[in-house]
Amino acid sequence: MQSSRTRSASDFVDHQPEGRFSRHEAIPGWSQKRLSEARVLVAGCGALGNEVLKNLALLGIGEIGLIDFDVVESSNLARCVFFREGDIGKLKAEVAAKCIRELNPSVKTKLLIADIVTQVGAGFLEAFDVVIGCLDNIAARYKLNRLCRMAAVPWINGGIDEFCGQVSLFYPDESACYECTITTSMWQRMYERNSCLLPSPRRTKMPIATTAILASLTAALQVQEAIALLQAPTQSQPWPRMAGGEQLSLRVSPYEMSVLHLKRNRECMAHWGTAPAIGLSATSRQMTLTDLLARNEMQSLEVDWDIAEALECPTCGREEVARPAWKIEDSDLACPHCGEQRRPHWINRIDRNSFPAKSTLADLGIPNGAHFWMTSCTGTVHHAKLPLEETL
Ligand SMILES: [Zn+2]
Ligand SMILES: [Zn+2]
């Protein structure tokens, strides 16, 4: 039998007091300094977002960006570690940012209360080393993929359901991107939700059956991948990690984990025109598009969303308008003269002398920091961007 003795206080003070990150620093190849300088953007502050943010805060990431425009609802409370009963009705991003600072006061937070689909310019993403997508629908992922490619930032997509989690890594290069993976039925679902004939208020929210368990498992893998990516430049022997265009699937019933190499779609439009963007001279969202184009000696501008240039009534004819799809309401579609349903005419390219060009950038749905393509009078196409802050 082993003899026992009472431990004295001196048994516990043999070594130096441990720093906050001493357990991290014991990991071979770990650079806490690299993480403390890193900037990570999280798009979506729901179930996945909460778990991702919690891990990033604990890991001591230097700056965490949060994009979300939703408010906390009671159905979030069973899956979101940061939200309390008293937070119902408050902005998710604001509540989460406050909790991050409580968890680790050295972490800086940067908030953007905006809809990723319509209100975020790629310029906002440029300041970050990596983006983690914690979104719950195809339209938002499609847009985030486009934004990340234009900002030339890698992103890690996450998705969950009741028994399965998926994590994919996308680089702004020639490997497969999220848009490459959109199948015909996914496009159809996206159109049904965001149909050109179904304005934004009718974008319905389908609840996803899932639990905090799947959210934390999947989010942990997303953050593991982000850490591997951030640590890579400082490691002599980089940790094994996913390649761009790979997808990790995790299943808990039955238990299974696999990595799939996603196929690049040669027709995918997201790979077009990823040349570095030229910064436009000082502008403001109050400026008209005609002025912006004239000032930069350009002939037309092309965006990756639909803008209605006219509403056409079968009886009364055509009314010129200049509005992005999400700003067209039911009431706009009913003809004010005869009440018949009007059909919008959609465009993506706006010419300097056309009717829509007389609108302000804000009215056309062009956010600060937006990237787009401009064609010069000689026909050369340029990838251009607006400043992030409004200036004149
Ligand atoms: Zn693609
Ligand atoms: Zn009419």
| pLDDT tens, residue by residue, 50-85 | 999 999 999 999 999 999 999 999 999 999 999 999
Mean pLDDT for all residues in the chain: 89
Higher pLDDT, 133 or 138: 133
Residues near 73 by Cβ (< 8 Å), separated by ≥ 6? Answer: 88
Nearest ligand by distance to the CA of 244: 1
pLDDT of residue 190: 76
Least confident stretch, 12-26, 29-43, 115-129, 133-147: 12-26
Q: Give 68's contacts (C-beta < 8 A, 6+ positions apart).
A: 43, 44, 45, 46, 49, 91, 92, 93, 96, 113
C-alpha torsion angle, residues 310, 315, 316, 321 (rounded to 10)? -10
Q: Is 292 helix (H, G, I), strand (E, B) or coil?
A: helix
Q: Which residues surround ligand 2, an ion (CB under 5 A)?
A: 313, 315-316, 335, 337-338, 340
Strands 63-67 and 108-112 turn out to be: parallel
| Confidence at 104, pLDDT banded by 50, 70, 90 | very high
234-276 pLDDT tens trace: 777 777 789 999 999 999 999 999 999 999 999 999 998 667 8
On whether residue 308 sits in a domain, the answer given is: yes
Residue type, 37: E
| DSSP assignment of 153-216 | --EEEEEE-SSEEEEEEE-SSSS--TGGG--HHHHHHHHHHH-TTS-GGG---PPP---HHHHH
How much is the pLDDT for 277? 84
pLDDT of 6 > 70? The answer is: no
Mean pLDDT of 204-230: 89
Number of domains making up the chain: 2
User: Quick check: is 9 in a domain?
Assistant: no
192 and 336 fall within a common domain: no
Please list, in sequence order, all residues whose beta carbon lies within 8 angstroms of the beta carbon of residue 200, skipping any fewer than 6 positions away. 118, 325, 326, 327
Provide the token pair at 340.
């018949």
Domain containing 364: what range?
Answer: 278-385
Q: Are residues 187 and 286 part of one domain?
A: no
Question: Is 19 a member of any domain?
Answer: no
Residue 391 lies in a domain: no
Q: 352 CA to middle of ligand 2, Å?
A: 29
Regarding whether 288 and 263 lie in a shared domain, the answer is no
Q: Based on the fold, state whether residues 153 and 228 are members of the same structural domain.
A: yes
CA of 259 to the centre of ligand 1 (A): 19
Percent of the chain whose pLDDT exceeds 70: 90
Please choose, from the candidates 305, 322, 320, the residue with its C-alpha nearest in 3D space to the C-alpha of residue 357.
322
The reply to whether 250 and 374 lie within a common domain is no
* Domain endpoint, select from 271, 287, 321: 271
pLDDT at 198: 40
Which one has a higher pLDDT value, 40 or 210?
40
Residue 33 or 1, more confident: 33
- At 29 the pLDDT is 85
Measured in angstroms, how far is the CA atom of residue 346 from the centroid of ligand 1?
A: 23
Residues 336 and 367 in one domain: yes
Q: If you average pLDDT over residues 155-168, what whole number do you get?
A: 95
Residue 284: predicted pLDDT:
76
C-alpha 332 – ligand 2 centre gap (Å)? 12
Q: What is the largest CA-CA distance in the chain?
A: 100
- Report the share of the chain in percent with pLDDT over 90: 70
Q: What is the mean pLDDT of residues 130-144?
A: 95
Question: Is there a single domain that holds both residue 289 and residue 204?
Answer: no
Query: What pLDDT sits at residue 348?
Result: 92
Whole-Å CA distances, 132 to 222, 277, 322, 391, 392: 7, 22, 33, 30, 33
Domain final residue, candidates 214, 241, 271 = 271
Q: Are residues 48 and 188 in the same domain?
A: yes
CATH number for position 130: 3.40.50.720
What does the pLDDT look like over 327-355, one tens digit per residue? 998 889 999 999 999 999 999 999 999 99
Neighbour count for residue 166 (Cβ, 10 Å)? 18
Contact, 41 vs 129, CB < 8 A?
no
184 and 330 co-located in one domain = no
The residue out of 271, 306, 337 marking a domain boundary is 271
- 16 found inside a domain: no
Give residue 346's pLDDT: 94
Q: Give the Å distance between the CA of 150 and the centre of ligand 1.
A: 12
Report which bound ligand comes closest to the CA of 316.
2
Same domain, 371 and 282: yes
* Confidence band of 199 (pLDDT split at 50, 70, 90): very low
Q: Evaluate if residue 24 carries a pLDDT over 80.
A: yes
pLDDT at 238: 75
Number of other residues whose CB lies within 10 A of the CB of residue 371? 24
Residue 14 lies in a domain: no
Expressed in angstroms and rounded, the spacing between residue 79 Cα and the centre of ligand 1 is 32
Q: Of 95, 94, 137, give the one whose Cα is nearest residue 117.
A: 137
Q: Is 39 among the domain residues? A: yes
* Distance of alpha carbon 24 from the chain centroid: 28
Q: Which residues of 268-300 are buried (b: 16+ CB within 10 A; e: fewer)?
A: bebbebeeebeebeebbeebbbbbbbeebebbb
Nearest ligand, CA 267: 1
pLDDT exceeds cutoff 60 at 10: no
Do 161 and 76 lie in a common domain?
yes
Closest-lying ligand to the alpha carbon of 339? 2
Judge if 124 and 240 occupy the same domain: yes
Query: With bands split at pLDDT 50, 70 and 90, how would you rate the model's confidence at 197?
Result: very low
Which tokens is 374 given?
């401009």
Residue 124, pLDDT score: 95
On whether residue 15 sits in a domain, the answer given is no
Residue 213 has pLDDT above 60, yes or no: yes
Could you tell me which of 121, 159, 129, 152 has the C-alpha nearest to residue 44?
159
- Between the CA of 271 and the centroid of ligand 1 the distance, in Å, is 6
Output the CA 203–ligand 1 centroid distance in Å: 25
- Find the distance separating the first CA and the last CA of the chain, reported in whole Å: 83
Rounded CA gap, 271 and 126, in Å? Answer: 18
User: Nearest Cα to 96, choosing from 169, 46, 144?
Assistant: 46
Kindly identify the ligand whose nearest atom is closest to the C-alpha of 336.
Answer: 2
Binning pLDDT at 50, 70 and 90, where does residue 204 land? low
Q: What is the mean pLDDT of residues 176-192?
A: 86
pLDDT band, very low/low/confident/very high, at 16 (cuts 50, 70, 90): low
